[in-house]
A = this chain, B = another copy of it.
Amino acid sequence: MLRSALRFAPSRLCNQVGAQRLAATSIRAGFPRFSKSLGSESRSYQTTTPLAHATPLTSEKYPQLKRNPSFKQLTTDDVQHFRTTLPPECLLYAASEQDVHELTGYNTDWMGKYRGQSRLVLRPKTTDQVSAILKYCHDQRLAVVPQGGNTGLVGGSVPVFDEVVVSLDKMNQVRSFDDLSGVLVCDAGCVLESLDNYVAEHNHMMPLDLGAKGSCHIGGNISTNAGGIRYLRYGSLHGSVLGLEVVLPNGTVLNNLSTLRKDSTGYDLKQLFIGAEGTLGIVTGVSITTPPRPVAQTVAVLGVETYEDVQRVFKLARQNLNEILSAYEFWDNPSMDMVLHHAGDNARHPLAQAYPFYVLVETSGFNKEHDDEKMGQFLEIAMEKGHVKDGVLSENASQMATFWYLRETISEAAVKTGPTYKYDVSIPVPQLYNLVLDTRERLTQAGLYKDDKSGYPVKKVTGYGHVGDGNLHLNVIAEEYTAEVSQALEPYVYEWVEGHRGSISAEHGLGLMKAPHLYHSKSEAMIQTMQSVKHMFDPHGIMNPYKFLP
């Protein structure tokens, strides 16, 4: 009965050491260790496309998409131009149809849902090279797809047809770091986890963290306005990014790598590129403020009976943990099942029995004694009120990592379970989980799904996400991507979100997937203004075409 860690009488809760000692017994020896926050080993998250070989061409899957004839077809002269202006290691070219498969990693998205047909991948090492590439493409009307770690989930980072891929993976240097202010300046191609490890040496941490951290680039994070698990505490990139270096489509370099916390000199242009998904230019450099790295962290995983209790526990967490609350995540039991199934020996259920919902609460602070006392009070109240049925509390970094593993591996586990329709939406917290319930019901009514049973086109309908931010990830895992399932889900999901005054994309962006559905979240006047902005920066429309805007 290891869950008794949280099942003691209130009078015992003052003894935090005891509470944690009990909790510790819930951790099975031999759990995988991850680099989560305080550890040092690398995480198992892979960006290798699990289903790459099975991915159909985007152009065949979506026949309504037509190549824009105003874009030039790549010629051998173009390739020769790049060969003469870039070092040989910065260019990958598939001369024949057969060679195209060598570029599969650049043409196919991580989900195995989208596959383009680019034959040219450029991997510049400097901002000047990026500038020269874009100027040439702009003059020649060659369409371009900027690519970071290619961990996006909406088809935004791979070509649709024959666009030239400009990968930032060779621009991965830290340019400067200031210990006093915590301001980091780096290339856009730096991997998020590498940056986090780098600033950790100086007792700071990146203000964002997400499952793909081992592969995603900071430039991609910025271009998709990534959220992640630290958002609750450290807020939006619109607040933490201090400056950007951006190459505009015509090759102009906008150098605005300010390291100042405050700057009110003119329109804050950098904001336009945060979340622009590479449609206005290529982010090449980043200045970002990094907060001091907490010295005390604790993670609890709690078993909860209802979504109403998930909300009640959230309210209690905010009231009792306040400034040390750094994450409040939830997932449902089908999500837990998938993770445990695919983790194999790497993980097991942290509680004695299954619950309909699980909540992960993390505190981060600088005084362990104070923080433990606050966590203890919070858990005591949540248990006493009956909103939490069972739980475990971490005692060290390794245990925290095992708890986070359960939450962070859901996305990967879903994709391994089957082709996954992923929806990342913002919804006012009280209605959040209703989308999962209503979607299940709709698919059941349509005869496409029944109670996680086999033999139906849809295997599972799961929900998880960042409750504290009103951000739900709805995953519908199918036997295969089919028009029948697609049509049952879309525009249904988007209409549902619109009807509940939500956003059809909370943190994954629009990409190819959601571009046509933007009107569910933005007015005609807003979209027209966006189109004017796009036209102003990119009059030939060469940057990441077919995506983002309808």
Stretch from A337-345, A479-487, A503-511 forming part of the interface with B: A503-511
Task: Contacts A268-B275, A469-B261, A503-B262 given; indicate if A322 touches B549 (C-beta within 8 A).
Answer: no
**In the bound complex, what is the Cα–Cα distance between A366 and B235 (angstroms)?**
20
- State which residues 352-387 of A face B: CB under 8 Å: 365-367, 370, 373-374
Contact of A272 among B271, B318, B470, B501 (CB under 8 A): B271
- State which residues 251-306 of A face B: CB under 8 Å: 252-256, 258-269, 271-272, 274-276, 280, 292
- State which residues 310-328 of A face B: CB under 8 Å: 315, 318-319, 322-324
Stretch from A34-42, A53-61, A109-117, A526-534 forming part of the interface with B: A526-534
Does A235 contact B239, Cβ atoms closer than 8 Å? yes
Q: Which residues of B contact A507 (CB under 8 A)?
A: 262, 264
Closest to A253 in B: B525
Is A1 engaged at the interface, CB distance under 8 Å to the other chain? no
Contact with B along A521-550 (1 / 0, CB 8 A): 111011101101110100000000000110
Does A225 contact B264, Cβ atoms closer than 8 Å? yes
Q: Which residues of B contact A530 (CB under 8 A)?
A: 266-267, 269
Does B469 contact A525, Cβ atoms closer than 8 Å? no
Closest to A280 in B: B267
A313 → B minimal CB distance (Å): 13
**In the bound complex, what is the Cα–Cα distance between A536 and B267 (angstroms)?**
13
Interface size on A, residues (CB 8 A): 82
Closest to A154 in B: B264
Does B266 contact A549, Cβ atoms closer than 8 Å? yes
Closest to A326 in B: B323
Closest to A237 in B: B239
Does A225 contact B505, Cβ atoms closer than 8 Å? no
Is A418 engaged at the interface, CB distance under 8 Å to the other chain? no
Is A238 engaged at the interface, CB distance under 8 Å to the other chain? yes
Closest to A535 in B: B536
Does A269 contact B239, Cβ atoms closer than 8 Å? no
Is A471 engaged at the interface, CB distance under 8 Å to the other chain? yes
Q: How many of these chains are in the complex?
A: 2
**In the bound complex, what is the Cα–Cα distance between A260 and B505 (angstroms)?**
11
**In the bound complex, what is the Cα–Cα distance between A508 and B262 (angstroms)?**
10
A441 → B minimal CB distance (Å): 24
Contact of A258 among B231, B466, B503, B527 (CB under 8 A): B503
Closest to A321 in B: B366
Q: Which residues of B contact A235 (CB under 8 A)?
A: 235, 239-240
**In the bound complex, what is the Cα–Cα distance between A257 and B261 (angstroms)?**
26
Task: Contacts A238-B239, A315-B180, A324-B323 given; indicate if A272 touches B268 (C-beta within 8 A).
Answer: yes
Interface centre among A248, A275, A319, A514 (most CB of B within 10 A): A275
**In the bound complex, what is the Cα–Cα distance between A260 and B265 (angstroms)?**
28
Does A264 contact B370, Cβ atoms closer than 8 Å? no
Task: Contacts A271-B271, A365-B323 given; indicate if A264 touches B509 (C-beta within 8 A).
Answer: yes
Q: Which residues of B contact A505 (CB under 8 A)?
A: 263-265
Q: Which residues of B contact A428 (CB under 8 A)?
A: 181, 259-260
Closest to A226 in B: B264
Does B374 contact A254, Cβ atoms closer than 8 Å? no
Q: Which residues of B contact A271 (CB under 8 A)?
A: 238, 268, 271-272, 274
Does A548 contact B266, Cβ atoms closer than 8 Å? yes
Is A52 engaged at the interface, CB distance under 8 Å to the other chain? no
Does A366 contact B322, Cβ atoms closer than 8 Å? yes
Does B470 contact A510, Cβ atoms closer than 8 Å? no
Q: Which residues of B contact A503 (CB under 8 A)?
A: 258, 260, 262-265
Contact of A252 among B236, B318, B525 (CB under 8 A): B525
Does B262 contact A268, Cβ atoms closer than 8 Å? no
11 contacts between A and B (CB under 8 A): A225-B268, A235-B239, A255-B526, A260-B428, A262-B507, A266-B518, A266-B548, A268-B272, A269-B530, A323-B324, A370-B373
**18 more CB-based (< 8 A) A-B contacts, given A231-B261, A236-B262:** A181-B470, A252-B525, A256-B523, A259-B501, A260-B428, A262-B466, A262-B506, A263-B503, A263-B506, A264-B275, A264-B506, A265-B505, A265-B522, A268-B271, A268-B274, A268-B275, A271-B271, A322-B365
